[in-house]
Each structure stands twice: as C-alpha cells, then as structure tokens.
Structure 1
Amino acid sequence: MSKYGPPPLWGREEGFATLLYIILEQQVSLASAKAAYNKLIERLGKITPRKFLTLSDSELKTIGFSRQKTSYGRNLAEAVIKGTLNIPELYNLDGEEAKNNLMRIKGIGNWTADIYLLMALGRPDILPSGDLALLSAVHKLKKLEHRPSNEEFFEMSKKWKPWRAVAARILWHFYLSEKNKF
C-alpha cells in the first residue's frame, strides 16, 4: 500500500444489470466486458430483464455476448421475471444463502456470485473463487514458486477472515497497478 496507495472501494449497484455485467466479465478482460456492457446500455438505455429479453441472439452477438453468455443472460432475466430469483431479497440473506440463491441460475457460479456479494452487497468476508488476478497477485507478492491453486489460496486466506474482501481489494489493486509486469 505504501507503493500504490489504498485500494479503491469498487462498488456496484444491486440489481439485474450488475449481475448481467458480471456475467459479461466471466473469463474475459475487464475492457472487453465493459465495451460490451456499454453497447448494451446504448441499445437499451436502462437495462431490465424484460428489455434484455427483447434482443435477438444476433443482436446480442453484435453487442459482444457469446452464445453461452446470451443463454446465461436469458436464464437470469427469466428467473427475475418469474420470481425464482428475488434480487432485492439477497441483501437480507446470510452470505451462504444469498450465494446459493444466485447459483441456482444456470450461468452463475461461485465466481459470479462471489463478485456480486462483494461488490454489490458489500459482504466483508468474500474471496472470489478462481479469480486469476487474485491468484497472480498473491503469487507475485509472496514470491511463490508457482501460482497457487484455488485450494492453496483458500487455505492462505483463512488467516484473513472475517475481512477477506479487504484482502481481495488490496490484491486486485496490486494486480492492476503491476499489470504490465505479469
């Protein structure tokens, strides 16, 4: 922190649009996800489940959605419309229950649920599973011989409880500040 300063407190609004944005961020660069999300905003204005479902597969492909992410976005929109996922209610649930509710939707796994809980709901003890930036940052900071596996990273993180979200923010800040050196 002495080199790069404190990490930003990245936060996101609760809701469908944020979950959709996080789906776009799965396994791609933040820049490409942001570009696709901005195109979606240009096309729809306010992003709602009903508006999202009005777009054809070819329109979504032009915006930047892969076939798989189109399917995941549709699953999410339908779950919200049908009431099988009550996004505002997630705030009132404990972390595990909220995560399980999110992960019932095909296309929302551990990483997506964790990012939502950390960024939108501000949960303090979330460490996104499988986040390559976090794994790379801890590898470099701790001067490890190899990038840790998810299991090794989880073991390391136990000493950071109950503030693992703070550790995640510090590691992301380091990663983004050193990005060209990885």
Structure 2
Amino acid sequence: MDQRHIDQALIDLASVDTDIARALPQIGTPAPRQRASGFAALLAIIIGQQVSTEAAAAIRGRVETALAGVTAERLLAADDQVLRDAGMSWRKIEYANGLARAVLTNTLDLHALAQMPDGDAIKTLSSMRGFGRWSAEIYLMFSLQRQDIFPADDLALLVALGRLKRLEQKPTPKEARNLVEHWSPYRSAGSLFLWHYYRGAPA
C-alpha cells in the first residue's frame, strides 16, 4: 500500500463512516508501512512479540550482527546461546528454530504463502508454533501488503477504535471486527489510520 492508495482508501472510508470523516481532517492520513517478506520478516515478528518497538529493534540488530545476516540456514547453524546473548528468550529461540526448519524443509512454503487468499495464509501461518492470528495478520499487512486486514487482537487498535467510536471502554476483538466490517475492502488502511489516531488523536 503506497501513500496514494492509503489516501484514497481513507477518503472512501470517510464516505461510509462518520467517525473517520470527523477524525481524518484532525490528524491526516498515516504514512505507508512496508516491510520485506520472507524468513527475516517472520523472525522479526517473533522477536517483536511482547516487547517494546525499541527493544525489538535492538534485539533484531544484535541477531543480525551475530548471524552475519539473517537466513534460516544461519540461524539453525548458530548455537542457541548466541541468540540468547543477543536478547532473545529461550521460548522465542524455540519458535525461531521451528520456523527455520519449516522454511528449509518447505513445510512452510513462503512463495506459496504469498499466493494464498488472506484466510488461507492466516491459517497456514497460525499453525506455526509462536504465530497466533495477530502475528499472521501483521505479516500479511506489512510484508505481503494485503489491503483488507484488521488485526483485532492488537491492543492499540482496540483502544483507538474505542476512542474513535466514543465508546465507554475498548471493544473486544469480536466487537471490533463487527464495528469495522463495513470498512472492507480497505481494512488495512483503516488499521493504519487507527494506529495513527492512537498516537495523535486530539485530547
């Protein structure tokens, strides 16, 4: 999703959602978020789980340095202690090794994944240890640039949606999906807007 797509998508969303129409002039449109696809991107998602953005970036940098480049082959060839010293938890190292083995044995076919419909791709990734629905949706949205994804398990999205909709409390993931169902086929742009709103909404 480039800036032009996001801008047009939000114009369309504003035409069907009065809350977006109200908020869009206040905070403007978000910038694109584009990431590479493949093993390194999936490993980055594992590393980023339940840690701050800053901590995740630091750990990713140390892992990349320790492996002299992130590939499935290099990760499996490295001693687990090397990854632990870079800041990964033992549980995340277990997930990373499982991911690397799945990629190398083609149990997880990354090329085929990129060709799958959203639902099938999410199901395939979610079957991997260490990958829940949120992780799969983040990969589809940012690495595969799918345009109709709403990661409803994301806390910031739920808080932002509750504020945008002027609810007394944040919605549950199920409630959130229902609230944004009419945003299809632009739910990815809507998600980007909610993250933008979360950080910059007027008090």
TM-score (norm 1): 0.92
Counterpart code for 1:94? P
2:53 to 27, 30, 36: 30
**2:41 aligned counterpart, secondary structure:** helix
Alpha-carbon shift at residue 46 of structure 1 (Å):
2.2
Matched, 1:129 2:129: no
CA contact (8 A) 1:21 1:37 kept: yes
Identity %: 36
Counterpart amino acid of residue 61 in structure 1: R
Verify: 1:82 aligned to 2:105, yes or no. yes
CA separation of 1:130/1:51 partners in 2, compared to 1, >3 Å: closer, same or farther? same
Q: Per-residue deviation at 1:9? A: 0.8
The equivalent of 1:142 in structure 2 is 165
AA in 2 matched with 1:165:
S
Contact 2:63 2:86 in 1 (8 A): yes
Q: Give the corresponding residue for 2:43.
A: 20
C-alpha displacement of 1:96: 1.2
Distance in 1, Cα, partners of 2:166 & 2:48: 28
Aligned to 2:74: 51
The ranges of structure 1 where at least 4 consecutive aligned residues each deviate by more than 6 angstroms after the TM superposition are: none
Q: Is the 8 A contact 1:14 1:88 kept in 2?
A: no
Q: Which residue of 2 is the match for residue 7 of structure 1?
A: 30
CA contact (8 A) 2:152 2:158 kept: no
Q: CA RMSD for the aligned pairs?
A: 1.7
What residue ranges of structure 1 are gaps of 5+ in the alignment?
Answer: none
TM-score by length of 2: 0.83
The answer for unaligned runs of 5 or more in structure 2 is: 1-23
Q: Distance in 2 between the 1:71 and 1:31 partners?
A: 22
Match of 1:99 in 2: 122
Amino acid at match of 1:115: I
Work out whether residues 162 and 170 of structure 2, in 8 Å CA contact, stay in contact via their aligned partners in 1.
yes
- The residue aligned with 2:9 is none
Distance (whole Å) between structure 2 residues aligned to residue 87 and residue 150 of structure 1: 28
Larger-gyration structure (1/2): 2
CA apart distance, 1:20:
0.6
* Cα displacement (A) at 1:91: 1.5
In structure 2, the CA distance between the partners of 1:176 and 1:59, relative to structure 1 (3 Å rule), is farther
